[in-house]
Amino acid sequence: MAQTDIVVGIDIGGTNTRIGLVDREGRCLSETAIATNAQEAATQLVARIVRSIEEQYAPRKGSHVLKGIGIGAPNANYYKGTVEHPPNLAWPGVTDIVGLFTKQFPIPAAITNDANAAALGEMLFGAGKGLRDFIVITLGTGLGSGLIVNGALVYGHDGFAGELGHMTVDPEGRECGCGRRGCLETYASATGICKTVFELFALRRAESELRRISFETLTAKMISDAARRGDPIAREAFEITGKILGRKLADSVLHTSPAAIILFGGLAAAGDLIFEPTKRHMEASLLNIFRGKVQLLPSGLREDAAVLGSAALIWNELEKE
Amino acid sequence: MAQTDIVVGIDIGGTNTRIGLVDREGRCLSETAIATNAQEAATQLVARIVRSIEEQYAPRKGSHVLKGIGIGAPNANYYKGTVEHPPNLAWPGVTDIVGLFTKQFPIPAAITNDANAAALGEMLFGAGKGLRDFIVITLGTGLGSGLIVNGALVYGHDGFAGELGHMTVDPEGRECGCGRRGCLETYASATGICKTVFELFALRRAESELRRISFETLTAKMISDAARRGDPIAREAFEITGKILGRKLADSVLHTSPAAIILFGGLAAAGDLIFEPTKRHMEASLLNIFRGKVQLLPSGLREDAAVLGSAALIWNELEKE
């Protein structure tokens, strides 16, 4: 009987790490989540991931062949296979993650950040299938991005390309975790829209069910629920977020002229509430030659998107050879 | 005796069209300029260019072989080989320029806009030699740009990528030829710095030799000459231009993480006057992971840059095969 090629997709997040086995069609054959445990050394986390891979692979050894390992992680350097100074993990300096895995499994492994992995996931299995030029924007705690140009992910000369979350909206604007001010992700992200709601509490007199919620408690989900019930503050917050995001996406289009921009992650789950104003303001801000040409699409990946993205990374590497 | 391969480089400008023969090392063996004659039909201009090619090639027929034709032109569509609605030429609609040339010479031909051709020229023959990721910015009447990613020019899904001159500096800002407002090229270009000088006449009380020059007469060259003599208005105009350009380049770096940005064209000829403030403000605005990594370089092409760029376009195509 013919054996089926599969890869491991690993997504190392600040809280949880997900590990799955994925075939070339983007089917997730199995998946587990383990706690990342931010205080633990990298070698210990890798040992626990290796155990999970072995458990998932054991019952399939006759029928499936493991071809590679793809990893998505914060502050990942694709060229070196390392994670460098991750802000939310106790891994000092530079950690050779790819090396730790290839010591256990003598097969190809690759690492990149989660937004780049998401872009490759969309290209191989999602809304970017068949497109050679597109941009993926992840709207989570921050704003991540991955650029596909001519059918390949853009890494740049140092491996760190695609940091659109740090485009400057206002040099005197909101403080950003990067130490600068007014970065796009301080406005257009799940946390950014919460900040906008609190600004609107000060600016507007309108009643809002959100006024009784504290800053630390408010979530993007609460804002979208309120907006669907017609809450004026929540609705205006989406309008402002879409305006700021749409205008900056119009600048990004000038760089690589993508056929589509795919919105992904927590805030994108708000659907039309975020897509409609973003699309409208992007179109209004686009240079004429690009108007009406750039699709704004929801992700085509399902819930296991993070694992699929990491799997796509290594499938893509395997096919380069 | 072995024959030397050569190509034709053609730069169709609003005023003049330059035609040259260029070898693989970027040596221009001969070059002529003819008037473009904006009122003439495209077929007539092409006929005159063909005559110039034949005249230049005739004495070299035994020793050289013509391998291809590269063309730089405004509003050029690389994918279709056409020029579409050029603003400064009387060519209605869409003109199949590549087709007009291949009818005369049965060899490969390609067309792109002048800034893209300049980027390829820098990659093959100039300051981008050996670099796989860089951006070329042409600071002339407008601001043109060409992006090189992973050793290839970025065309985008429709062939129009790299329009950085239309990044928005201020949505309420200066009127741009594109119909929008506050585009980067209305500030950072040879004409943009002239506008800034006139704004400064209103804002500042300082004496300036430029105050006796009319708006229609002022050139970027006059401003750089005055700045070298210490003129305070001229010096501040360069500072402001460098600030606006440097900040926007910091946004561009986030997209493709280039190893270098190459400044080219009339305003770049001002040297340190424009490089120093642009570099300083770019560094101050860069996301920390990119700081100190991006070189700001002058063009490595000499005076025949436009012809070399077009020649590089077709050399690059010939080597793809």
Q: B293, A161: Cβ pair inside 8 Å?
A: no
User: What's the order of all strands across the beta sheet hosting B82-84?
Assistant: B76-77, B82-84, B94-95
**Predicted local confidence at residue B275, as pLDDT:** 98
The predicted-structure confidence for B49-108, as pLDDT tens digits, reads as follows 999 999 999 999 999 999 999 999 988 999 999 999 887 788 989 999 999 999 999 999
Number of Cβ within 10 Å of residue B179's Cβ equals: 9
Q: A254, B149: Cβ pair inside 8 Å?
A: no
Q: Is B149 on the interface with A (CB under 8 A)?
A: yes
Degrees (nearest 5) of the Cα angle B30, B31, B37?
155
Residues in CB range of A180: below 8 A, 6 or more apart: A166, A168, B285, B287
Number of Cβ within 10 Å of residue B64's Cβ equals: 16
Please give the average per-residue pLDDT across A293-299, as a whole number.
97
Q: Which amino acid is at A12?
A: I
Q: B154, A287: Cβ pair inside 8 Å?
A: no
**Predicted local confidence at residue B1, as pLDDT:** 66
How would residue A285 be classed by pLDDT, with cut points 50, 70 and 90? very high
Looking at the complex, report in whole angstroms how far the Cα of residue B165 sits from the nearest Cα belonging to chain A.
9
- Which chain B residues touch A258 with a CB distance below 8 Å? 156-157
The predicted-structure confidence for B131-152, as pLDDT tens digits, reads as follows 999 999 999 989 999 999 999 9
* Cα–Cα distance, B135 to B146 (Å, whole number): 6
Q: Which of A162, A255, A257 sits opposite B252 (nearest CB)?
A: A255
Q: A132, B257: Cβ pair inside 8 Å?
A: no
* Cα–Cα distance, A82 to A308 (Å, whole number): 20
**Predicted local confidence at residue A304, as pLDDT:** 82
Interface test with B, best of A157, A245, A291 (most B CBs within 10 A): A157
DSSP code at position A23: E
How would residue A321 be classed by pLDDT, with cut points 50, 70 and 90? low
Predicted model pTM: 0.94
Low-confidence ranges of chain B (pLDDT < 70): 1, 321
The predicted-structure confidence for A61-84, as pLDDT tens digits, reads as follows 999 999 999 999 988 999 999 999
Degrees (nearest 5) of the Cα angle A196, A197, A201?
115
- Which chain B residues touch A259 with a CB distance below 8 Å? 157-158
* Cα–Cα distance, A76 to A86 (Å, whole number): 8
Q: Is A29 on the interface with B (CB under 8 A)?
A: no
State phi, psi for B297 to the nearest 5 degrees: -120, 150
Residues in CB range of A85: below 8 A, 6 or more apart: A75, A93, A94
Q: Is B289 on the interface with A (CB under 8 A)?
A: yes
Q: Is A150 on the interface with B (CB under 8 A)?
A: yes
Of A21, A49, A109, A137, whose CA–CA distance to A313 is shortest?
Answer: A109
Q: A156, B289: Cβ pair inside 8 Å?
A: no
How would residue A241 be classed by pLDDT, with cut points 50, 70 and 90? very high
- Which chain A residues touch B250 with a CB distance below 8 Å? 168
- Tell me the helices (H) and strands (E) count for chain A, helix number first: 8, 13
ipTM: 0.93
Q: B255, A258: Cβ pair inside 8 Å?
A: no
Average pLDDT, chain A: 95
Supply the Cα-derived Rg of chain B in whole angstroms.
20
